[in-house]
Structure 1
């Protein structure tokens, strides 16, 4: 057993020596491998850090690309909007020159597609042309163009643009003036200039200079003056209904004049000798009473004559005779007044009738021609508005005149009634019947 134990221990020592001999290289190998792992981990951290930086840069580049794309789309949209609305800000005369320059760019943009790089480049070039126009517009420039005269004939000549204003000079110098928009025509219309400005513009071809007329309305004042019609043309727009309204208004004015003449001739006032007239009538001295009555107004004279003739009779009978005279005179005072009242009430309704007729005509024209042509609709709308205007113009003065004349008639009737009452009171007092 001891021998075996000794052998085992010998083997154990041999194995320990072998292990010790092999352990050192392995430990060295492990150390080398651990150092490599540490180095590779450092490289890994460095690679991951670079990857994160690359990702951050990529995100920043993507964000910048998106911002640039948004800005690019925004600027491209502004260019497109500017070009689409540019011609609307031009003088109608400049469209002849700039359309020829801008139309090729529009066609190229349409062929390339609105969002392409080529379209953006074409828009930028078109905007550059527009900006070049702004550089020369303040000092003015000229070019060959066309215009339409008042007869509708197309004229060839020079178009002179200065700021927002445009002028035209025919090649022969016969027709000169400002250029303005003419509905339904491609070319602008010439508003002829006369006098010193026209002569100066005619001489522009030889001197290259002329005096500019100042028009703050940009030709709108001249167009408005041409569009403004006289009173006859204005009434003609009202049609048959307008003439009927005017006829009623004229008749109402004539009747009002007749009534004023009547009132001036039929003026009444209480006589100052009413007491002496009543005293003479009570005494039975009709001759003296009639002499006193003769000094009164014609209408008052007839009433007092009746009162004096029945002064010694019953009071109610005397008053009835005097009131009878007033009632006989009242229709003459109020004649023609009902016609004025009818005119004041009927003319607004006739104006409304004209409005309805004009609107029916307008809707008929819209049905036939559509709503795109304003000239086709203007006649019906004008008739509708003019008849309403004429109805109010006639009705308002007629209503005022009727009220005034009616008040004058009532004042004269009231004056006669007051004179009759005063005469009756004086007679009753003289005869002693007033105490009864």
Structure 2
């Protein structure tokens, strides 16, 4: 085979395969392939000629467009120059008019500046005033007036100045009144309901024995999440039930909410006890136990003393009291000598002593242990405080409040338990000693009486 044909044979085979894949009629030989290549070249020539024709037409159109764009640019440049000149002239005229306005205003310019400031300050005050709960939307006009005079430099009209004067006067007048009006009240659960609200000047809002607060952002009146102590809420009920013109005591907040917020943040008795932690609860339990034991001893010893007094007045020996049981021992040992009788009576008194002094040593132990338990709670609280300081530093005092509260509360609880327990122990111990002293006194009398009888018998 010819070397040239051998070199071009792979190319020819590739072309045959390509044309067979894209043509509707398969190519059988090289002549057919050559014809197809020729036709393709003719088609490309026609397409190139069409493209050249379109390019020449577009070139002519672009020349026309370029001429139009240049004409438009020249026109716009001319208009821009005219507008710049007009702008400069307007700026000059505006400056002259502003100078003329300032000259004509004179002192009124300062007046309108003060008017703008007063309108802005009054609008801010009205937002925080509880009087707005009764007269809603009055601050919108003042805010719009201050904004108009500040941004657009417009002057206020006579009607606007008179309305500002009216709103200021109404604020002063209403701040001295106690008024009842109807409005929507939001309770602590978030439920809205219509109710009567009493407004005490510009200081407090109350309803149904509860203090209320006014939220200017929602323009609604809501109950406080937590009410102050009962000595303040009772005055709200007195105010609600008072007759018109009557004078009643009422807990007023002159700070318009700041003092009331501080009062409701003050922890109550339950919260103070809870801040003492488990040590505080143990101290309280021990204190209750000491109170019960002391009451039992005081009541029992009081009844015992009354029974002893009744026994001293009676000639009949009764076994329901210590003195009666001691007398019963004397009665059973009439025939013995005085020394033996003395020992028998001492033994009977010793038997009565544990009954009389029952729980009294335990009261003494509680009186001593309560301050120590309070000291234990104090140490634990300080440990918690220093741990918070170690972890978070001293930037936020609230992180240390828990440990400090436990330290102080447990100390107070320990002292509150120890001091009354000391007095109750002293009272119970004194009463028990008094009963024992009475028994010893009566026992000594019986022995003396027996010795006198024995001496009289020897003398006879």
Q: TM-score, normalised by structure 2?
A: 0.46
| Structure with more relative contact order (C-alpha pairs < 8 Å, separation 6 or more) | 1
